[in-house]
Chain A
Amino acid sequence: MNKTMRITVDGRKIRASPGQTIMDACDDAGVYVPRLCDVEGLVPQGSCRVCTVKADGHTVAACTEPAEPGMKVENDTLEIKNYRRDLVRMLFHEGNHLCPICEASGRCELQAMAYRLRISQATKYPYLQPVRPVDASHPDIALDNNRCILCGRCIRASRDVDGKHVFEYVGRGIHKRIGVNAENLAATNASIDDYAMSLEVCPVGCIIRKREGFFAPIGARQFDREPIGMDVETRQEHHVPKRRPDPAFGNDGTK
């Protein structure tokens, strides 16, 4: 059962272990599959769809689709790139993403993904310009939901790593947003030291750590130094297998 298998990604043969997702196999082999909702250390959920690949002719989310022996994966093709561009554009247009005034600029994964996918022109989509309430009640943390891309990383980090369950999805459809476990964030047991509140978790500028803004000058910000995905693409050299939490959690957060 523990035998490794081979899959092909854009013609390149890579190894995958049984039960591994396409994404994890690619990461271990140093092949980057763009993603926003998935991050190392959390259970993948397949919601942003930016990691869409074609596996044996079917479009699937690489972060949740198990690798199968001999699977042929298309990752870096024009068709897939177009889907990803559309998805990233949708996220930009769904919220209010004004990079020049955003504190997360330069370390924002949405912004970095747009650069990686070469989205630099105004797009054809309409702007939805939501007006969602900002929750600045907590002494150390503010939440600007207008920048949220609903990746749910804070939900999983708080639930599975912090054991707190500060966040959860509420509402549905285009009105879906992230709710907090009380009237507002100050009334929850959220703390600035939670993993959920760390810079690693929120990919955009929705979770704001108060009094820490603009800590890195332009030119020295995370993605100024290295484009998104390069950490994976250079991973082959050190070959550290990817970290994933205990699968006992299940993929829908059942405790």
Chain B
Amino acid sequence: MIDILWAVQDKLGCIDGEAMSLIAEKTGTYRVEVEGVVSFYAFFSSVRKGKIVIRLCDDIVDRHAGVFAVAKSFENTLGIKLGETTPDHWFSLEYTPCIGMCDQAPAALVNDVVVTNLTPAKVKGIVRTLKKTRDPRALVTKTGDGNNGHRLIAAMVKNNIRHTGPVLFDKSPAEAGLKQALTLSPGGVLELVVDSRLRGRGGAGFPTGKKWRYAAAAQAALRYVICNADEGEPGTFKDRVLLTERAQLLIEGMTIAAYAVGAAEGILYLRAEYRYLKAYLEHILARRRSRGLLGDNIMGKAGFHFDIRIQMGAGAYICGEESSLISSCEGKRGEPKNRPPFPVQSGYLGLPTVVNNVETFCCVPPLIARGPKWFTSIGTPHSSGTKLLSVSGDCTRPGVYELPFGVSVQDVLDKAGAKDPAAVLIGGASGDMIGRPEFQRRICFEDLPTAGAITTFSSHRNVLEIANYYMDFFIDESCGYCTPCRVGNVFMKQGLEKIMQGLGEAGDLDYLRELGKTIIATSRCGLGHTSPNPILSSMKSFPLVYSALLNAHPNEFQAGFNIQSALDEARVIAKRRSLIYDVSYGDEE
């Protein structure tokens, strides 16, 4: 379904009512079901968009890097406002959440083409080129390093690999892991993965070996291995680099997983923002097929058949949650499923399914080739191996760093050249914001777990503005399935804004804490379990910043109520000012 919708969206610039009816008719579904899917994903639209859609990344890092000025410049040059389309239906201009380019912000997607390091001065030239060529690819005059220069990627994106570690950038010969795995029984491979204590790199840190064992034990004729390449956590871009430079390793890891759990089919779920990598990844898959590394009897192993297809996402953060991702692969709204049953028991199409992050799969081949002893010798007792970190924000060397688990936040900041770091967000929007006294804490599952995003903010940034941005992000990305996450997050934001406007009272902090507690306790999936974190953790780490903004009201007036702004709407309707509350009433007449 998602593939059909992409084709229609690309061709018509929209999926309107007529198209929905036709799709429903041809696929034997209902129009309203199609509408439900279309309206769920940010990259689909029921109203016609321009042939060239410019999506500016409005992540907090891009904001600090000046995306608003860039947006203004685009608005002036194109003569349209954000969210609008030019009358000739050539250009649409809009904001989009993090596109995974925080290390080269501000960045934008022009259709599938990534444009990085934007400045207001560059905008005129960009629009001129687009108007002349009508082809976003013309914007790429110089390609980035490594495979970004590959003819099938040809992107100006830079890898920014700042520190390579022993696992993901292991120098073992290609396919050494797969070769070794195929000499063992599937159970033997499972044992190695369990012994290595490898844990999922997507954030939750579930033991990979355990997950694979469950899937292998589930009774079924067919099993699935799915790679989660829907890296949507704001500030994370490490999977982008792995997909660009370590695609062979990733597919090798997926193939080993398939062998271990007995899966015959695999899916690589690629986020819409990384569509520029699709042709290259297809090419890698095709090459592996022709070399006998995918398909029937892989590497001559009789009876081991496995192949992979790429499933495009369409712009929904929630699809990084494994059961939502499965819903999306099934062509549905990307909403989480009820658990139990867990995906390893009943996942894609009701079949046992292993879903792992890109980085997790990339850890597998070196781990098999070199053995669990080697793997557990790196990192900490409960977090073996290395972690690929995406560092961005106020630092001189933003990019990816492969470092052993257990590294301190301070070490990372030093390596990245953080400028006057005052607040650091560990793990993106859903992570914790910490202040200077906690910089000695370590990045590992025992202390500060992270899916990889380290976003650093200098002392002149406003902590509340940052928390407010992330709250906005969660409001936009909540699927809306359950009450606390759909509604509660909106209230969290309004509560925070009240404090930001200087209307807060001491009780408002308790209000936010209690509301946050309810959202965390009653939400259905990980999004709502973590969405109050940016506010709650910043309240904890920066209590003085919050309390400085609060008002004391000895006369018990509610500061939250502002009579002047409450009257504004009535003034407009009545076309006159208030007799009582506007002191100078009548003076000007």
A: residues with CB less than 8 A from B are 45-50, 52, 59, 61, 64, 66, 82-83, 86-87, 90-91, 93-94, 124-126, 128, 149-150, 165-176, 179-183, 250-252, 254
Contact = CB atoms under 8 A, between A and B. Distances in A.
Interface stretch (B35-43, B397-405, B544-552): B35-43
A45 B486 contact: no
A169 B334 CA distance: 12
B32 A83 contact: no
B482 A179 contact: no
Interface in B273-325: 316
A84 to B, nearest CB: 9
A252 B328 CA distance: 13
Contacts of A59: 521-522
Contacts of A91: 483, 487
A199 to B, nearest CB: 23
Contact of B518 (A86, A170, A254): A86
B39 A170 contact: yes
Interface in B484-508: 484, 486-491, 494
B521 A46 contact: no
Q: Which of B316, B477, B490 has the most CB of A within 10 A?
A: B490
Interface residues of B, number: 42
Contact of A174 (B35, B486, B514, B524): B486
A66 B341 CA distance: 10
Main secondary structure of the interface of B (DSSP, over half): helix
A64 B340 CA distance: 9
A171 to B, nearest CB: 5
30 contacts: A47-B482, A49-B484, A49-B522, A59-B521, A83-B518, A83-B522, A86-B484, A86-B514, A86-B522, A87-B484, A91-B483, A93-B487, A126-B494, A128-B490, A170-B36, A172-B333, A173-B486, A174-B478, A174-B490, A176-B480, A176-B486, A179-B35, A179-B39, A180-B32, A181-B30, A182-B32, A250-B350, A252-B327, A252-B337, A252-B338
A46 B340 CA distance: 12
B31 interface: yes
B511 interface: yes
B36 A169 contact: yes
Contact of A170 (B32, B327, B477): B32
B315 to A, nearest CB: 11
Contacts of A87: 483-484, 518, 522
Contact of A169 (B333, B337, B338, B488): B333
B39 A90 contact: no
A47 B40 contact: no
Nearest to A59: B521
Nearest to B518: A86
Given A45-B338, A94-B487, 18 more contacts: A48-B483, A49-B482, A49-B523, A49-B524, A61-B524, A66-B340, A82-B518, A86-B514, A87-B483, A90-B488, A126-B491, A149-B483, A168-B33, A173-B478, A173-B486, A174-B487, A176-B486, A250-B350
Contacts of B152: none
B36 A168 contact: yes
Nearest to B318: A172
Contact of B480 (A167, A173, A251, A254): A173
